[in-house]
Amino acid sequence: MSYKYVIDASAWFEYLYATQKGLKIKPLIEGEEIATSLIAVGELADKFARINHGFDIMLRFIQRRSALIGISVPLLLAAAGLKKEMRNKRPKFSMADGVHLATALQEGAVLVTSDADFSGMENVMIV
């Protein structure tokens, strides 16, 4: 299946907390074919644990609304290559960032994020 958007953890967080940025992507999350990397789910679980907020209900919503894209060796190799390439211009670009971008590229989708490390990149929507 092809997805129009891949939602990263930062965008999900904005949406789940109904911030101004999250409200901008509400129609997209609620009405489009979307996917999310399992890495993003792990990042969200970590974030919610750090702020002592339960994640179960939100996880169930994400699972119902978004396809979860697993991690494969080819995806990780692509992510590592993207990280290496991006680090020259963006010193904070992480392996997780690479996974999110590689997932979007793999799916032929637009990456939706609130992470400024992606600014100016093609096929990326920053909220």
Question: What is the C-alpha to C-alpha distance for residues 120 and 127, in angstroms, rounded to an integer?
Answer: 13
pLDDT confidence bin for 1, thresholds 50/70/90? low
Quick one: pLDDT at residue 117? 87
Kindly report, residue by residue over 20-71, the tens digit of the pLDDT.
Answer: 999 999 999 999 999 999 999 999 999 999 999 999 999 999 999 999 999 9
- Domain that residue 91 falls in: 5-126
Quick one: pLDDT at residue 19? 96
- The domain tally of the chain equals 1
For residue 35, give the nearest of 83, 80, 70 by alpha carbon.
Answer: 70
Kindly report, residue by residue over 68-91, the tens digit of the pLDDT.
Answer: 999 999 999 999 999 999 998 899
**Could you tell me the CATH number of the domain that includes residue 89?**
3.40.50.1010
